[in-house]
């Protein structure tokens, strides 16, 4: 028997864009509550990860927090949050929330106090450093938003570190009092019943205390699968993150989760959000005794080239890298990166559904991918996010009427981001009425996955197949499935090791050879092995 998070399909909700309950054009907690029946019943996911809803000036859309233990009024109240947890749990849905340990907003009272004087009792809650001779910043580190990570604070004569926007000063996890304060934050939400945390940029919470310069990266090429400022890639980010002290800080968080899991009988988890990195660094977050995070989001998969060989290599690499007892996971989109249907073309979306939901491990599905949504196209001068990530954060189209039923605003109001006609054409309402829609494919796959021992816990074994195809077996003693995916533009013929019949499709004739249409896939149930 596996733990809940190993069986679960996690659904990422971007709260601003999911559902607006009060007509101000911004999604909110009551909006999410109103869609729980969709999530639990219509779609059939097991857990939600709800992005940050804490009070924030929204410079980084909630990743710039001013109070870790409250709810921003644009999203609702603490009562709404409690109601969300209760209503989700009543439907068997777990709730994972963001923990943002690396930085706060510069308007957080902690930072206001830290900044007030060099001898402030909270000075060391943030990373402050003296200028180099000539007043230069303490190191050459560059930020994802462009420019230096250091901001000079005139009144106190020191620089503060901000790995992201200058209004997001980095916290100093070397301070025991800061760590204690952050563990109190974790306790606060555990006491309200949350099932886990997605830990934002976990790899960044400890930096080189000597502030050594990062080496230059002369061959810098911007990464098309990520949205970062070109400055960011001009150096190798070796000293501004990944300092080994962070594993000890992570262990403190995990110990607290274990304490709650034991005491309440409800297993609470930690998911690490770390940038793509070599597998041996990536697995280190699991802890030497699997006492770190439960898993680390697999962004290497997002960055895998979208062809059969690339995906096969990426799957095999994760399988090979995981230590004994560790559990794989797969991610294909999120709120920071171009959507999969934009990255890999709209024809990739159905195949991506089959892939994500049939591999060994926990899938995380980004809201809107179940509709095959592509990015919004917003001209640069209208970007609200400095990195243009608004384009991957478009409102969910629930119906085909005005604003996609995302909000209930008066006729002259509009949502915080536009809902284009092509989104209305892909609305939940319209796709539910079309048996061949991608949403109905997701629904069938999710329903099947729940009852399939091979998909929930079977082994993964790649199968020989034509070059444009990706084929693998998922098997337990009671069930063997072959998943046949054709990434090519022509039909392909794939053989399976024993006779079997296609599932979730009309033709159930047992055979050993299957024709898989271009950009499509099949799940084949093999007949039991004759001893
Ligand atoms: C990762 C989050 O996913 C992203 O949206 C945010 O801008 C950075 N971390 C900083 O918190
Ligand atoms: Ca609202």
Contact 159, 147 (CB under 8 A): no
Per-residue confidence (pLDDT) for residue 411, from 0 to 100: 60
Closest CA to ligand 1's atom 6: 63
Annotation says 407 is catalytic: no
- Quick one: tokens of 199? 């830990």
Instruction: Give the pocket of ligand 1 (CB within 6 Å).
Output: 60, 63, 100, 164, 200-201, 335-336
- Quick one: tokens of 297? 């989001």
Q: What's the pLDDT band for 508 if we cut at 50, 70, 90?
A: confident
Closest CA to ligand 1's atom 10: 63
Higher-scoring residue by pLDDT: 241, 230: 241
| Burial status of residue 150 (CB atoms within 10 A of its CB: 0-12, 13-18, 19 or more) | buried
Closest ligand 1 atom, residue 387 Cα: 7
Contact 285, 201 (CB under 8 A): no
Q: Which of 49, 65, 166, 201 to mutate to test the pocket of ligand 1 (most atoms within 8 A of CB)?
A: 201
The number of the ligand nearest the C-alpha atom of 408 reads 2
Residue 471, SS3 per DSSP: strand
What does pLDDT average to over the chain? 96
Mean pLDDT of 302-331: 97
Per-residue confidence (pLDDT) for residue 230, from 0 to 100: 82
The number of the ligand nearest the C-alpha atom of 386 reads 1
Read off the pTM. Answer: 0.97
Tell how far the Cα of 71 is from the centroid of ligand 2, in angstroms: 13
- Quick one: tokens of 349? 């979306």
Three-state secondary structure along 110-143? HHHHHHHCCCCCCHHHECEECCEHHHECCCCCEC
Tell how far the Cα of 144 is from the centroid of ligand 2, in angstroms: 29
| Burial status of residue 111 (CB atoms within 10 A of its CB: 0-12, 13-18, 19 or more) | buried
Tell how far the Cα of 39 is from the centroid of ligand 1, in angstroms: 25
Closest CA to ligand 1's atom 3: 336
Q: Which of 16, 164, 169, 274 to mutate to test the pocket of ligand 1 (most atoms within 8 A of CB)?
A: 164
Closest CA to ligand 1's atom 5: 336
Closest CA to ligand 1's atom 8: 63
Has residue 1 got a pLDDT over 60? no
Contact 158, 129 (CB under 8 A): yes
Q: What's the pLDDT band for 412 if we cut at 50, 70, 90?
A: low
| Burial status of residue 275 (CB atoms within 10 A of its CB: 0-12, 13-18, 19 or more) | buried
pLDDT exceeding 70 applies to what percent of the chain? 98
Under 8 Å CB-to-CB from 327, ≥6 apart: which residues?
Answer: 6, 294, 295, 361, 362
CA distances, 77 to each of 12, 13, 55, 72, 189 (Å): 21, 18, 10, 7, 14
Tell how far the Cα of 76 is from the centroid of ligand 2, in angstroms: 8
Closest ligand 1 atom, residue 336 Cα: 5
pLDDT exceeding 90 applies to what percent of the chain? 91
Annotation says 478 is catalytic: no
Closest CA to ligand 1's atom 4: 336
- The active-site residue out of 200, 273, 336, 407 is 200
Which residue in 258, 318, 256, 246 sits closest to 285, CA to CA?
Answer: 246
Tell how far the Cα of 14 is from the centroid of ligand 2, in angstroms: 13
| H or E segment to which residue 34 belongs | helix 29-34
Cα–Cα distance for residue pair 14/428, rounded to 1 Å: 17
Pairing of strands 158-161, 128-129: antiparallel
pLDDT in tens, 158-205: 999 999 999 999 999 999 999 999 999 999 999 999 999 999 999 999
Per-residue confidence (pLDDT) for residue 195, from 0 to 100: 98
The number of the ligand nearest the C-alpha atom of 100 reads 1
Which residue in 473, 505, 468 sits closest to 490, CA to CA?
Answer: 468
Q: Which of 336, 386, 387 to mutate to test the pocket of ligand 1 (most atoms within 8 A of CB)?
A: 336
- The active-site residue out of 130, 259, 291, 382 is 259
Tell how far the Cα of 61 is from the centroid of ligand 1, in angstroms: 9
Residue with tokens 């596996």: 2
Per-residue confidence (pLDDT) for residue 402, from 0 to 100: 86
Tell how far the Cα of 208 is from the centroid of ligand 2, in angstroms: 42
The number of the ligand nearest the C-alpha atom of 72 reads 2
Closest ligand 1 atom, residue 60 Cα: 7
Under 8 Å CB-to-CB from 259, ≥6 apart: which residues?
Answer: none
- For the ranges 278-292, 336-350, 501-515, the lowest mean pLDDT is seen at 501-515
Contact 165, 185 (CB under 8 A): no
Mean pLDDT of 82-93: 98
Per-residue confidence (pLDDT) for residue 410, from 0 to 100: 61
- Quick one: tokens of 265? 């009988």
- Quick one: tokens of 375? 């990015």
Per-residue confidence (pLDDT) for residue 188, from 0 to 100: 98
Which residue in 99, 9, 2 sits closest to 362, CA to CA?
Answer: 9
Closest CA to ligand 1's atom 11: 63
């Amino acid at each position: 028997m596996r733990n809940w998070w190993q069986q679960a399909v996690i659904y990422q909700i971007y709260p601003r864009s999911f559902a607006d309950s009060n007509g101000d054009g911004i999604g909110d907690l009551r909006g999410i509550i109103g869609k729980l029946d969709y999530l639990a019943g219509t779609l059939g996911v097991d857990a939600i990860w709800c992005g940050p809803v804490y009070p924030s000036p929204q410079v980084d859309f909630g990743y710039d927090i001013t109070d870790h233990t409250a709810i921003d009024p644009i999203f609702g109240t603490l009562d709404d949050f409690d109601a969300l947890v209760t209503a989700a749990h009543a439907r068997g849905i777990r709730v994972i929330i963001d923990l943002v340990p690396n930085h706060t907003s510069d308007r957080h009272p902690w930072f206001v106090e830290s900044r007030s004087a060099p001898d402030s009792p909270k000075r060391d809650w943030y990373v402050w450093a003296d200028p180099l001779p000539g007043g230069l910043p303490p190191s050459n580190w560059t930020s994802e938003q462009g420019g230096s990570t250091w901001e000079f604070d005139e009144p106190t004569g020191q620089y503060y570190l901000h790995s992201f926007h200058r209004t997001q000063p980095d916290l100093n996890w070397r301070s025991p009092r800061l760590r204690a304060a952050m563990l109190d934050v974790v306790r606060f939400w555990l006491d309200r019943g949350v099932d886990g945390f997605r830990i934002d940029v976990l790899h960044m919470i400890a930096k080189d205390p000597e502030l050594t310069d990062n080496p230059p990266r002369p061959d810098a090429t911007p990464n098309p699968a990520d949205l970062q400022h070109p400055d960011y890639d001009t150096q190798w980010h070796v000293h501004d993150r990944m300092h080994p002290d962070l594993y000890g800080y992570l262990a403190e968080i995990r110990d607290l989760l274990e304490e709650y899991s034991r005491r309440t009988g409800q297993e609470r988890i930690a998911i690490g959000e770390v940038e793509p990195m070599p597998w041996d660094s990536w697995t280190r977050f699991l802890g030497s005794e699997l006492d770190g995070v439960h898993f680390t989001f697999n962004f290497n998969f997002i960055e895998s080239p979208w062809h059969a060989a690339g995906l096969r290599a990426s799957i095999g690499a994760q399988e090979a890298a995981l230590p004994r007892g560790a559990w794989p996971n797969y991610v294909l989109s999120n709120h920071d990166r171009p959507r999969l249907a934009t990255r890999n073309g709209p024809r990739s979306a159905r195949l991506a559904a089959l892939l994500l939901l049939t591999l060994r491990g926990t899938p995380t599905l980004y809201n809107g991918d179940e509709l095959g949504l592509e990015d919004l196209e917003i001209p640069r001068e209208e970007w609200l996010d400095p990195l243009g990530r608004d384009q991957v954060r478009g409102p969910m189209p629930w119906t085909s009427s005005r604003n996609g039923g995302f909000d209930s605003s008066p006729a002259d109001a509009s949502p915080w981001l536009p809902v284009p006609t092509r989104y209305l054409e892909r609305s939940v309402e319209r796709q539910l009425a079309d048996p061949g829609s991608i949403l109905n494919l997701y629904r069938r796959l999710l329903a099947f996955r729940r009852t399939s021992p091979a998909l929930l816990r079977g082994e993964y074994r790649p199968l020989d197949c034509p070059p444009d195809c990706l084929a693998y077996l998922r098997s337990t003693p009671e069930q063997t499935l072959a998943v046949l995916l054709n990434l090519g533009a022509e039909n392909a013929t794939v053989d399976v090791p024993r006779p079997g019949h296609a599932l979730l499709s009309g033709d159930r004739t047992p055979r050993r050879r299957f024709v898989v249409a271009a950009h499509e896939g099949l799940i084949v149930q093999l007949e039991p092995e004759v001893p």
